[in-house]
Structure 1
Amino acid sequence: MAFKFQVNLDVKFNHNAVFLKKADKYKPKIIYHQLSAKQLIKLTKDETKLDGVGVSNAGSVNELKSKKFGKDDNFLIDIGQHCVGKFQIHIDHVGSPMDAPLTLKIRFAEMPNEFKYNSKDYNGWLSKSWMQEELIHVDNLPVDLKLPRRYSFRYVEIRVVDTSPKWSVKFSDPRVISQSAVNKVQIPKSKFDDNELDKIYETGVNTLHDCMQDVFEDGPKRDRRLWLGDLRLQALANYASFNNTNLVKRCLYLFAGMTAEDGRISANVFTNNKYIPDDTFMYDYGLFFISTLDDLLKHEFNQEILDDLYPIAKKQWDYDQKFISDDGKVITDKDYITFVDWSQDFDKNTSAQAITIFVLKQLIDLAGMAEDSEKLKYENQLNKLVNYAENKLFDHKKGLFISGPNKEINVASQVWMVLAHVLDNEQNHALMKKTQTELFPIKGIATPYMYHHVTQALFEAGFREAGIKLMKEYWGKMISLGADTYWEAFEPEHPNFSPYGNAMVNSFCHAWSCTPVWLLNKYLN
């Protein structure tokens, strides 16, 4: 298992009714659109697509009206685009009167390769209940079958489990009522004078759109939760596209309204029924509340939000002091993990040091906005953290940062030190040049989340063309494999990688992967 479930039943949480009421004030009005299915399809062997599974046209959706289906018959529908919403279809019977119920198995997929798998074979460590499939009994026909659950999908398989020897069924008018907190119509078409970059940008917008629901969800297929690490990146992409700042405010108030009594901010919160903070905590995710707040107030200053949420940011920082030594060393804790990436193949100590520096600089920004007298204290601590990084973690002979007791050299350490601007611009340039020479091509990085930071570091260090190249090689590769939204996990060297031990529960529309929207706008416009 790559990730250990945290169970912290002894943690006591605050429930700040004022903050939660403000979160509700910013609750979005969901926008609904009706989408008719585009075509019938069949699966094909295509080694250029994910898992070697492609699709081809199998006819018009209108042809369903003239086809009869009985036991074990099935068909596949392509909606024509990835969507989040509720599926419906009209069903009628043909032949003798119904002498038994109709039983259907309906499966939903974001990517065609998902139809390769049988849920009976699932052996991963996340719950099997996330499988997007339904066994449905229908007692009376005709009916407009409207499934009550929301799904995240582009493709639908309908299989007739059984009818009766005396009668068959016909289907017609498959459609989806899709939903999002935002409307893609408001987004102007990208114009980067590069068709591939335009497509990368538009696919990022699609991903962000489908993850913007009642909150910024991490993935609408699975989890459907508000995670802090995802929120920070989604918010940046949102500022560069939909600019729905109210949804960011809502999410920040939800985290602030349900902190642990010791000041920690949960890594994620549940919002589907009532508001519940998860008893999962991560060192870097908790700190990113500070980042998200600072990013918001730089984009759109709001005194009320500063007054309300800056004290919450300070409490998170105060809690983390136990992990920072007097000489400025960040001491990681296996029970308070630093996430960085799903991959467990590299040491994350130096990444934690750099992330702490990165976030403290933003806390100092906030302290300036709030005219907080403790700003000088934060600046002094920043100097200690930076000095430790320069004097203890930077190997001057190798020109790279080391990490952990084995003095490991890995990509993440260099990238986060660049983003934290521990070194000056000239040194940053030299660091990323050395990183590309010695640590590229990248291996063992499992997520678009970390690839975002690698790409940003290239841009920040002055390697514009290398940043564009990596975007095309990584996000562009997902598109060439069949994506119309970006995935939760992707290792180009292992395209079917899953952090969960089984790819059946992988999310193929995931919030933290949408960031080309922000990267392209910030560094190419």
Structure 2
Amino acid sequence: MAFTFQINDDVVWNHDEKLLAKAEDNTPDLIQTTVTPTAIAEITADEKSVNGFKSVVSDKNIARLEDYTLGRDEKIVLDLGDHYVGKFSVDIDSVGSPMDAPLYLRLKFAEIPAEIPAESADYDGWLSRSWIQEEFVHIDVLPMTLEMPRRYSCRYIELSVIDTSPKWKASFSNPTFVAESSVSMEQLPKPAIQDKELEAIYNISVKTLQDCMQTVFEDGPKRDRRLWIGDLRLQALANYHTFDDLALTKRCLYLFGGMTTEEGKIPANVFTEPKLTPDDTFLFDYSLFFATILFDYVEHTQDQEVLLDLYPAAKKEIDLALQQVDEQGRLVLTEDWPVFIDWSNEFDKATAGQAVMIYALKRFIQLAEKMNDVQLGDYQTICDQLESFAKTALYDEAKKQFVIEASGEVNVASQVWMVLAEVMDDETNKAIMETTVAEQFPITGIATPYMYHHVVEALFVAGLSDAAVQLMKDYWGTMIEMGADTFWEAFKPEEPNFSPYGSPIISSYCHAWSCTPAYLIKKYLA
């Protein structure tokens, strides 16, 4: 089962106004920071950098920007010095003879250098080209301050003059980027990390998280700018071990709990503008994660009010999911409520889906205990059935691996999620992951930090800390070697320039589900 666009226009939604009011009460005031470019950049070819381009500091002095006037087909690239999310403005004047024609200007905002030479006209991917951070502007009268109304996620800004006239050129000065986030690095205590490579990975993880923390935990500030529940689960864990912004986590929980289908299904993501709107996309594992996010939050805060408010939504979701478990304890997945696990379509996700069901149910049972739920025994019974089926029908003792029931397929995701669900004892879990490392590493066919996070955590859970640290360095460390300021939505070590959309111009290079090394380092190594 693959992730595809879903259109479910017959869904009937319940909006719990009490819960949504509490979500709004926890909306943060964004912290604004004024950033000025640190340099003028030259974008040059470099096969070791992501998508074949790197940035080098130009001989031109950023302090003399207004002296570098631009005419037809001339351009200049500003470097903010780091990745930021916010709005851009610049002063523009005409130099030379009187302004006898409008200024026709193109602005490009890029998270990585390779986006600058990429041409939007060449993009032919499956996501909308409207996500491309590129603007065309006509200006009739100069001087003026150009204030771009949209928000951008970028480090590099290219100012490209399409045309003026032969009589005059454009001069740019006072470029200003007002960065926004719900948190500040100043509130973050600096951890003592002795390993310099892990320290770099930690720092970039935190920067990634910060730029995704807006009025909700966004999945990517460049694209999609939405609250996705799979990303939220990982962002919240990283947040607890770094900024610890509890109000933002609470807000996001209330948004999901306050907008469910008539039967109780929780959407995969929600929109917050122009009004609160649940998306008509449903993923089985993402829906289950509502209960695990609530569990993690309550464990971290002991917030009984949130538990009382949101337990009914979590319970409905679990009950709905358990309708897909047969009498033998087998999870039966359906096309209309697919399991995500990872973007990759190169492996069967049935066994991993069974494990996620167990993982979520175990955490919900602990919430049910706190709530003195009269059905607690029933939930424990079905959890035992799910685990028993996994042990007897899905685990191959000789291979020391979980398999796909229908085909016998062995894949990384099955092992990882069964270990995270702690279906087997510690000794067996260790053997499972040792076998996985020996037989399935280096990993291929998986493109997301989302899945790599779970692999690393499963190694930690199985007691293989050295292997976990090495995989973090091999994966996130390689992104740094290739020029990452923030961690990416997608990365295949075996195919470094991979983009799920066929072009870097649409890929997200600051993405929420890639921020988790900060959590992994603090939880398992601190």
Do they fold alike, i.e. is TM over 0.5?
yes
Deviation at 1:501, TM superposition (A): 4.2
CA contact (8 A) 2:257 2:266 kept: yes
Given the superposition, is the C-alpha separation of residues 2 and 60 from structure 1 closer, same or farther in structure 2, using an over 3 Å criterion? farther
Measure how far apart 1:503 and its partner are. Answer: 3.7
Between the aligned partners of 1:267 and 1:67, the Cα distance in structure 2 is 48
Which residue does 2:56 correspond to in 1? Answer: 56
The structural deviation recorded for 1:302 is 1.4
What amino acid sits opposite 1:48 in the alignment?
K
Residues in 2 aligned to 1:304 and 1:202: alpha-carbon distance in whole angstroms: 34
CA distance in 2, matches of 1:272, 1:10: 22
Aligned to 1:148: 149
Relative to structure 1, the CA distance from residue 404 to residue 118 in structure 2 (aligned partners, 3 Å threshold; closer, same or farther) is farther
TM-score, length-scaled by structure 2: 0.98
Give the structure 1 partner of residue 308 of structure 2: 307
Q: Deviations over 1:24-72 (max 9, x none)?
A: 1111010000001010011122222112211111122122221221111
- Distance apart, 1:241 and its partner CA: 0.3
C-alpha contact (below 8 Å) 1:79/1:175 kept by paired residues: no
Cα deviations across residues 71-118 of structure 1 (Å, max 9, x unaligned)? Answer: 111011100000000011111111222222111000010000112311
Deviations 1:375-406 (A, max 9, x none): 11111111000000000000111110001521
Q: Which amino acid aligns with 2:364?
A: L
In structure 2, the partner of 1:30 is 30
Q: Any conservation in 1 of the 2:2–2:338 contact (CA below 8 Å)? A: no
1:344 and 2:332 aligned: no
For residues 486-505 of structure 1, the C-alpha deviation after alignment (integer angstroms, 9 at most, x for no partner) is 00011111122222344431
Match of 1:363 in 2: 364
1:496 aligns with 2:489: no
Question: In the alignment, which residue of structure 1 is the partner of 2:209?
Answer: 208
Q: Does 1:451 align with 2:458?
A: no
Q: Distance in 2 between matches of 1:2 and 1:430?
A: 30
Residues of 2 paired with 1:253 and 1:180: CA distance? Answer: 20
Following superposition, the deviation at residue 2 of structure 1 comes to: 5.9
Q: Which residue of 2 aligns with 1:241?
A: 242
2:333 aligned partner, one-letter code: T
Deviates more, 1:231-240 or 1:170-179: 170-179
**Residue 321 of structure 1: how far off its partner (Å):** 2.2
Identity of aligned residues (%): 52
User: Within 2, Cα distance between the matches of 1:404 and 1:489?
Assistant: 29
Name which of structure 1's ranges 266-275 and 497-506 shifts more when overlaid on structure 2: 497-506
Take 1:344 and 1:115, find their aligned partners in 2: how far apart are those partners?
31
Match in the other structure for 1:21: 21
Match of 1:406 in 2: 407
Separation in 2 of the partners of 1:340 and 1:281? 13
- Contact between 2:37 and 2:175, CA under 8 Å: does it hold in 1? yes
> Which residue matches 1:72?
73
Stretch of structure 1 that moved more, 246-255 or 331-340: 331-340
8 Å CA contact 1:90–1:142 kept in 2: the answer is yes
> In 2, are the aligned partners of 1:347 and 1:404 still within 8 Å (CA)?
no
Number of aligned pairs? Answer: 525
CA distance in 2, matches of 1:109, 1:236: 28
Task: State the match for 1:273 in structure 2.
Answer: 274
Per-residue CA distance 1:283-310 (angstroms, 9 max, x = gap):
0000000000000000001111111100
User: Within 1, Cα distance between the matches of 2:3 and 2:381?
Assistant: 35
Written as runs of structure 1 = structure 2, the 5 A alignment for 1:62-461 is 62-461=63-462
- Return the offset for 1:334: 2.0
Contact 1:342-1:499 within 8 A present in 2 as well: no
Q: Which runs of 5+ in 1 are unaligned?
A: none
Separation of aligned partners in 1, 2:485 and 2:70: 31
Q: How do 1:503-518 and structure 2 match up within 5 A? A: 503-518=504-519
Q: Say whether the 8 Å CA contact 2:89–2:148 is kept in structure 1.
A: yes
SS in 2 for 1:455: helix
Once residues 474 and 236 of structure 1 are traced to their aligned partners in structure 2, the CA distance between those partners, rounded to angstroms, is 20
- Seen in structure 2, the aligned counterparts of structure 1 residues 312 and 339 have a Cα distance that, compared at 3 Å, is same
Greater mean deviation of Cα atoms: 285-294 or 52-61 = 52-61
Q: Provide closer, same or farther for how the CA distance between residues 146 and 2 of structure 1 changes in structure 2, counting only shifts above 3 A.
A: farther
Assess if the C-alpha contact under 8 Å between 2:292 and 2:363 holds in 1: yes
Separation (CA, whole Å) in 2 of partners of 1:173 and 1:78: 14
Q: Distance in 1 between the 2:506 and 2:326 partners? A: 40
State the Cα deviation string for residues 224-272 of structure 1 (Å, max 9, x = none): 0000000000000000000001101100111111100011000000012
Q: Which amino acid aligns with 2:308?
A: D
C-alpha distance in structure 2 between counterparts of 1:370 and 1:181, whole Å: 32
Encode CA deviations 1:133-188: one digit per residue, 9 max, x unaligned.
Answer: 00011111111111010000000111001111221111112120000000111112
One-letter amino acid of the structure 1 residue matched with residue 273 of structure 2: N
Partner amino acid, structure 2, of 1:44: T
Normalised TM-score (structure 1)? 0.99
CA deviations over 1:353-388 (Å, ceiling 9, x no partner)? 000000000000100111111111111111000000
Could you tell me which amino acid in structure 1 is paired with residue 20 of structure 2? L
Cα RMSD (Å): 1.1
Counterparts of 2:147 and 2:19, CA distance in 1: 37
1:307-347 residue CA offsets vs partner (Å, 9 max, x unmatched): 11000001011111221111110111122111111111001
Structure 1 SS opposite 2:260: coil
Amino acid at match of 1:170: S
Q: Is the 8 A contact 2:394 2:405 kept in 1?
A: no
The letter of the residue matching 1:45 is A
Range 444-453 or range 1-10, more displaced: 1-10
**Given that residues 351 and 394 in structure 2 are in contact (C-alpha distance below 8 angstroms), is that contact kept between their aligned partners in structure 1?**
yes
User: How far apart are the structure 1 equivalents of 2:510 and 2:66?
Assistant: 32
Q: Distance in 2 between matches of 1:464 and 1:479?
A: 21
Q: One-letter code of the match for 2:484?
A: A
- 1:20 Cα deviation from its structure 2 partner: 0.8
Contact 2:51 2:504 in 1 (8 A): no
Q: What one-letter code is carried by the residue in structure 2 that aligns with 1:408?
A: E
**Partner amino acid, structure 1, of 2:366:** D
Show structure 1 runs of 4+ deviating over 4 A. none
Aligned amino acid, residue 350 of structure 2: N
When structure 1 is superposed on structure 2, of 322-331 and 474-483 the one drifting more is 322-331
Asked whether the equivalents of residues 13 and 260 of structure 1 are also in contact (C-alpha less than 8 Å), the reply is yes
Equivalent residues of 1:2, 1:500 under 8 A apart: no
- Contact 2:118 2:504 (C-alpha < 8 Å) held by counterparts: no
Deviates more, 1:304-313 or 1:53-62: 53-62
Mapped to 1, the partners of 2:143 and 2:503 lie a distance apart of 39
Contact 1:267/1:278 (<8 A) preserved: yes
What is aligned with 1:47?
Answer: 47
The answer for unaligned runs of 5 or more in structure 2 is none
CA distance in 2, matches of 1:252, 1:499: 29
- Find the aligned partners of 2:405 and 2:143 in 1 and give their Cα distance: 66
For 2:354 and 2:484, how far apart are their aligned partners in 1? 35
